[in-house]
Structures are given as C-alpha cells and as structure tokens.
Amino acid sequence: MDNHWRATAHELHQHFVEGKISAEAVVSSHLQRIAARDGEIGAFLHVNEEGALARAKEQDGWAEGKRADHPLSGVPVAVKDNIVTRGMPTTAGSKILRDFMSPFDAAVIEKLLAAGAIIVGKTNLDEFAMGSSTEHSAWHPTHNPWELSRVPGGSSGGSAAAVAAGLTPLALGSDTGGSIRQPASYCGIVGMKPTYGRVSRYGLIAFASSLDQIGPMARSVEDARLLYEAIEGVDPRDSTSTAAPSATLARGNGPWRIGLPREYFGEGIEPGVRAAMDQALERLRSLGHQLVEISLPHTSYAIATYYLIAPAEASSNLSRYDGVRYGMRVDGHDLVNMYETTRDQGFGAEVKRRILLGTHALSAGYYDAYYLTAQKVRTLIRRDFDQAFGQVDFIVTPTTPDCAFPLGSRDDDPIKMYLGDIFTATANLAGIPGLSMPVGLSEGLPVGLQWLAPPFQESQLFQAAAALEAVLPKLPWPTGVDHE
C-alpha cells in the first residue's frame, strides 16, 4: 500500500497535475486507510467509496491543463455531515434525519466540486453540531487519534480526527462556538473559522444561524488556505453572505502588533497548555513581532451570552424536524402526539436540553431578560474586539484551556463542557475570523493556539499563522493509531 495519505493536499494536487500520480491511486490510498483505521477512530458516518473512485478515474482522463485549472483536482476532501450533499445521506448526526437524502448540494459542495475536489465521505459530529466532544452523535462517538480513549473535540470531531489520522488531507467543518477550532486543537491540526458571511451557509444544516460558519480543516496552514479559497465568496442564496474584499493590514508583512488578552491567560489554563503557549509566544517575539497585553473586558459574559443566543436560534431552527415532510416519523394518536413522540425519539438528550433552554429564553415574559440582554452583551463583546483591533493587528490566545479529555468524563456536567468554549465562542459572537494551529504537545496531547483577526482579514490570518508554523517543530503523526 502506497503512502499517498501522508501527503499534503498541495503535494497531491501538484503531483496529480504533473502526472506523477493518479487520482485513483490517491483516492484508493485514502479509502484503504479509512478501511484500516476508521474502525477504531469512528470519524466517518458515510464513506463515498464508489463515487470518489468514479470521480478519480474521470479526473485521470483529464489533460494537464484541465487538472491545473481545478485547484483541488486529485485531492480528497471529507465533509462534516451537517452539510447537505446530493447522492450521499446527510444526517447531522441525528436519528431524526436517519437516511435523509438532500435534494440539493450545499453551496460549498458545489464550489468544491467545481474546484475538482473528490468527496470521500461524510464525517461524524455531535448531533446538529451541539457539543464539544462528538460523543453526542446519535450514531457512535469518534475517538482521538492521539489517544483513542479521549475525545477528538467537537462538534467537528469526525473531520478533525479524519484529517489528523491521515484518512483525508482536507475536511470541512462548521463552527458555531468553536466547533472547528476546538477539535482542531484537540487533534493537532489547523482549523479555521472565517468571518461571518464569508462562506455561504446555503446547505449547512442550521444550528445557530447568526453564529454558524463553514471552514477548512487541514494538517497545514497552507492546506487550510487552499480549501478556504475554494469555498469562500458571496452567494446570492445566503442573504447574510458578503462580498467584502479582504482588508489590508496597516503593517503589511510585519512586524505586527499582537494582542494577548489578559482575560484569556488567567486562571484555569492547564500548565502544559500554558507552557506550549509560552514557547510559541517566544517564537513570535523572536520573529520581531510586538506582543502587548490587551483587555477584552466582556469576555466573562461570553459563555452565558453564547448559551442564550445559540440555543434560542437552535430551538427555532430545529422546529422543522416535525415528522411531517421528511426524516423520521413516529405515528401518534393525533397530530400533537405525533409531533411529540417523533421529536422525543428523534432527538438526543443534548439537543433536547438546548431546545428547552432556547425555547425558555424566547418565551413571553423571559425574552427581554434573556434573549434581548444577550444580544446587548453581544454588541459589547463585538465592541471589545473593535477597540482591541484599533491597537493590534492580531489577537493570540490558547484555543482551549485544556487538552482532549477522556470519553465520558463530562457526561454528567454539561456546564463544564460548555465552559470549554470560553476562548472560541467570542469570535462567533463578534463575527470575526479565527484560526487554531498546533503549537506543541502536553503530556502527549496536542495544544492549539488561536489567532483572531479583524473581520474579512482571513488572508492576513493565514499569513500570520503560516509564519509561526514555519518556525515551529512539526508535530509527529498521532500516536494513537498505527501509521505503517
């Protein structure tokens, strides 16, 4: 068995364009790797074996020029299962969408296909992307390739684990409060949440509409950028997408002023995470960048704000799963009973918890105290960032206060699970782009560093992350799975 699965997306595409490798060999290599390793990892919900091979063979018939015109030709991509795909089931990790086949492709899928990407399958997630561990999938949990007894993070845990373990070089995730960056951090890969509005949400199964963004996951900054550039851009089908051009940084290629918010470096950060962060910050200093302490004073309200807004929107977005038109239906003795039993049996505990939270937050008599207040605080959090970016070019924080935790360890404590989103949810509330990249290991588990940038500065974000990546030692392959 050849080792194409070890290559980066850039390498694969380049070699394919030059005729050094066939797309079929690339896809076969990854499919074999999935067959061999995914049994213990559980990253995939659906493997698109026939479809991927057929597409690979078709691309092998392309002339060099056509291959070069498609920036992702010859490159496998995995897709989080809350992004709808024609010809493959889309379940969002929920029983209520068991065997659901979407009649259309998401906007990002259209873009991927137009760019030549070969979709190898759909990846596991917490049900409807609600969770931080991928344990809340209705189908099975996903295991962290670094240590199989630990979670990969979530909710894009399937995509993160698949990329980390070499089951695919690229994967799409979605990020509502950290669902790309946190699993990227836990699995030692690069994950990026674009500015709200940068990538079309058309075809992303909505969790919290004002926070959701689709973004790339990869093993290098360069690869993440390759995937990002294939999916970004305004879409007339998503009225919240924007055509805003990339703003240019005041200080071009640096040195940059990098803000370290004191609220993100306080209590509660594991020592190993702190140590890896310190080393990375030292590297940034040695590159000539200026690190300055800043304050984002409303940070402590972020989790409360997030856990009002996100469930409120979710309670509404998930109302359509009522058993009437598609998905699961459990017959009842009348209409209301059909609704109740369908939703009772179709949704898992975490989804029900959030629907309840959100329904309560929007109820008459509570709306002002909860939802409206949360929206006001959201404005304050956004303002914090506006002010900070008046002083600095980027903000750097740990992605998470900890490393991947053992499966089952937070089952009884949803609040602790929610608090894990503390460093990531603010970017969603403010609508700004964020990127997590691996900066070292703590007791054998990856540590992620998060870059935050002003709205629509994805290009600069990739540039900064790549500069840091270049001076850091490369992480080894994850230690929890066999790489022979």
Partner 1 sequence: MNNGYQVIVGLEVHVELKTNSKLFCLCSTQFGASPNSQTCPVCLGMPGVLPVLNQEAIRMAVRSALALHCQVHAFSKFDRKQYFYPDLPKAYQISQYDQPLAEYGWVGIRSGNGETHRIGIRRIHVEEDAGKLNHLGQRLGDATGSLVDLNRAGVPLVEIVSEPDLRSAEEARLYLTELRATLSYLNVSDLRMEEGSMRCDANVSLRPAEYQGELEDLPRVEIKNVNSIRNVQRGIEYEVQRQSERLAQGERIVKETRGFDDATGTTYSQRSKEEANDYRYFPEPDLPPLELEEAWIKNIGDGLPALPEAIREDLASRGIPSKDAEVLVLDREAYEYWCAAADLYEDERTLTNWMLSDVSRLLNARGESFARASVNPPSLVELLRLIDKGTLSGRMAKEVLELMFESGKSAAMVVEEKGLSQITDTEAIRAVVLAVLREHQAVVADYLSGKDKALAFLVGQVMKRTRGQAKPDLVNQLLRDTIAGDRE
User: Which residues contact partner 1 (rule: CB under 8 A)?
Assistant: 83-84, 90, 92, 97, 100, 102-104, 106, 201-206, 208-210, 236-240, 312-313, 315-316, 319-320, 322, 324-326, 335-336, 339, 359, 362-364, 367, 371
Q: 9 or 310: whose CB is closer to partner 1?
A: 310
Q: 239 or 248: whose CB is closer to partner 1?
A: 239
Active site residue 155: yes
Shortest Å distance, C-beta 481 to partner 1: 32
Active site residue 209: no
Q: 294 or 310: whose CB is closer to partner 1?
A: 310
Shortest Å distance, C-beta 423 to partner 1: 23
Q: 37 or 111: whose CB is closer to partner 1?
A: 111
Shortest Å distance, C-beta 318 to partner 1: 9
Active site residue 179: yes
Regarding beta strands 190-193 and 434-442, do their DSSP bridges make them parallel or antiparallel, or are they unpaired?
antiparallel
Q: Considering the candidates 73, 133, 155, 220, report the single residue annotated as catalytic.
A: 155
Q: Considering the candidates 94, 132, 137, 179, report the single residue annotated as catalytic.
A: 179
Give 350's strand partners: none
Q: 200 or 399: whose CB is closer to partner 1?
A: 200
Whether the Cβ atoms of residue 217 and residue 161 lie closer than 8 Å to each other: no
| b/e 119-141 (16+ beta carbons within 10 angstroms → b) | bbbbbbbbbbbbbbbbbbbbbeb
For tokens 């040195």, name the residue: 255
In angstroms, the CA 183 to CA 197 distance is: 22
Shortest Å distance, C-beta 176 to partner 1: 12
Q: 177 or 188: whose CB is closer to partner 1?
A: 177
Q: 17 or 361: whose CB is closer to partner 1?
A: 361
Whether the Cβ atoms of residue 284 and residue 396 lie closer than 8 Å to each other: yes
Q: Considering the candidates 29, 73, 80, 436, report the single residue annotated as catalytic.
A: 80
Regarding beta strands 190-193 and 394-398, do their DSSP bridges make them parallel or antiparallel, or are they unpaired?
unpaired
Shortest Å distance, C-beta 480 to partner 1: 33
Shortest Å distance, C-beta 243 to partner 1: 13
Shortest Å distance, C-beta 90 to partner 1: 7
In angstroms, the CA 482 to CA 480 distance is: 7
Shortest Å distance, C-beta 322 to partner 1: 6
Angle between helices 373-391 and 302-317 (to 10 degrees): 130
Q: 264 or 339: whose CB is closer to partner 1?
A: 339
Whether the Cβ atoms of residue 33 and residue 167 lie closer than 8 Å to each other: yes
**Which residues are the active-site residues?**
80, 155, 179
